[in-house]
Amino acid sequence: MNDTMTFQTQEQYQFIETILFENLGYNPEVLDFQFFYGGNFNLAVKVKVKEGDFFIKWNHGDHDGMFESEAKSLKVLGDTHVMSIPKVVNYGKIVDKHYLMMEFLTAAFKQNNYWSDFGQKLAQLHLHTAPQFGLDYNNYIGALPQSNEWMDNGVSFWIEKRLKVQAGLALYERRITQQLYDRILAFCEQLPTLIPNEKPALIHGDLWSGNVMTDSSGLVALVDPACYYGLREAELAFTTMFGGFDTNFYEAYHEIYPIENGFGDRIPIYNLYPLMVHVNLFGGGYLDAVEKILKKFE
């Protein structure tokens, strides 16, 4: 380890000690300390102290409100008591670093019924509804803000607060051409006839395999939500984008909360939103998939 890395690690260690002191009221003895570097802009550690195991993540920069909204979203999901969600200890800012401290979920081996249980629980989550689409606070998907102002119509919400926002950002950042932007707007005109306008469903909002865990009982736990009351088909479609979800998951979901016929044809439509999120976060490598979907409906 070079001198720079030693200094950074020591600085980070002191930062974690400060968080523990602020939230536990004293300096506990750290029994174990493990760094995670899995995110694109966050750093994270698992800290073991006598009081328990905690997961702390933090970042630099202009992500004001990110961890506050994540803490709120974890509570929204946790208050449903449908599945395991890590409990938040606190969030805050120390000097130039924003942090989120929560309980560390210890994982066990998956039970044989893991996927069917997950499917049933997601359906139960989606049965939680609200009078309108949106949420009473805005949040983030990855590093990108999500606007959750309430709207009466779910398809309109998805067009105006999701797809058009990402397309506009991509145009502004010159990640897409004006021509492609215009094609997306034209596609939006078709959407009310292509996707069903169901009642609002509480969704995780960023449901891919990287945000799915196993809890201490061997059943599902979810992390890193970007939740709101939206179209549940959009959530199910997102689970297919990167794979990793067993067929038992979908079968069990449909038994509890059946989907309208033709969902398979609608999956690419919904995935335009996460694809455009990835265009804005990671660049043009996802544009071919966007083009393919648009061409299918032109």
In a shared domain, residues 46 and 155: no
- Per-residue pLDDT, 41: 67
Looking at the fold, whether 204 and 252 belong to one and the same domain comes out as yes
Residue 39's pLDDT is what?
Answer: 53
Annotated active-site residue 152? The verdict is: no
Does 130 lie in the same domain as 56? no
Among 43-47, 151-155, 272-276, whose mean pLDDT is lowest?
43-47
**Is 244 within the bounds of a domain?**
yes
Whether 122 maps to a domain, the answer reads: yes
pLDDT band per the 50, 70, 90 thresholds, residue 8: low
Q: Is residue 45 part of a domain?
A: yes
Based on the structure, what is the number of domains in the chain? 2
Evaluated on CA atoms 47, 50, 53, 56, the torsion sign reads negative
Quick one: pLDDT at residue 298? 86
Whether 109 is in a domain gets the answer: no
Tens digits of residue pLDDT in 40-87:
567 888 999 988 899 999 987 677 789 999 999 999 999 999 999 999
Predicted confidence at residue 10, as pLDDT, reads: 76
Query: Is 121 inside any structural domain?
Result: yes
CATH code at position 200: 3.90.1200.10
Same domain, 219 and 280: yes
| pLDDT of 37 | 59
User: In this predicted structure, which of 5-9, 103-107, 202-206 has the lowest mean pLDDT?
Assistant: 5-9
How confident is the model over 211-225, as a mean pLDDT? 96
Q: What is the pTM of this model?
A: 0.92
Residues 48 and 120 both lie in one domain: no
As a dihedral over the C-alpha atoms of residue 153, residue 157, residue 158, residue 162, rounded to 10 degrees, the angle is 180
Do 69 and 193 have their domain in common? no
* Percent of the chain clearing pLDDT 70 (strictly above): 95
Question: At 8, which CATH number?
Answer: 3.30.200.20
In a domain, 282, yes or no: yes
Single out the residue in 71, 103, 135 at which a domain terminates: 103
Residue 108 lies in a domain: no
pLDDT for 283: 87
- Residue 213, domain member (yes or no): yes
Query: For all residues of the chain together, what is the average pLDDT?
Result: 92
Q: How much is the average pLDDT of 153-160?
A: 98
Q: Look at residue 40 in the predicted model and tell me its pLDDT.
A: 57
Q: How long a stretch of residues is the chain?
A: 298
Name the strand (E) or helix (H) holding 91.
strand 88-94
- Rounded Cα distance between 154 and 230, Å, is 6
Helices (H), 51-194: 66-78, 114-126, 154-157, 164-172, 178-190
Q: Which of 86, 294, 66 is nearest to 184 (CA)?
A: 294
For 158-199, the pLDDT digits (tens) are: 999 999 999 999 999 999 999 999 999 999 999 999 999 999
Boundary of a domain, candidates 103, 138, 160:
103
Residues 78 and 149 in one domain: no
Higher pLDDT, 50 or 135: 135
Same domain, 120 and 99: no
Same domain, 143 and 8: no
Beta-carbon contacts of 143 under 8 Å, excluding residues fewer than 6 positions away, are 40, 41, 63, 66, 281
178 and 253, same structural domain?
Answer: yes
Q: Which domain holds residue 96?
A: 3-103
List 206, 224, 246, 288, catalytic entry: 206
Residues 152 and 97 placed together within one structural domain of the fold: no
Please say which residue of 103, 124, 140 terminates a domain. 103
Quickly state the pLDDT bin for 6 (edges 50, 70, 90): very low
Specify whether 124 is located in the same domain as 163.
Answer: yes
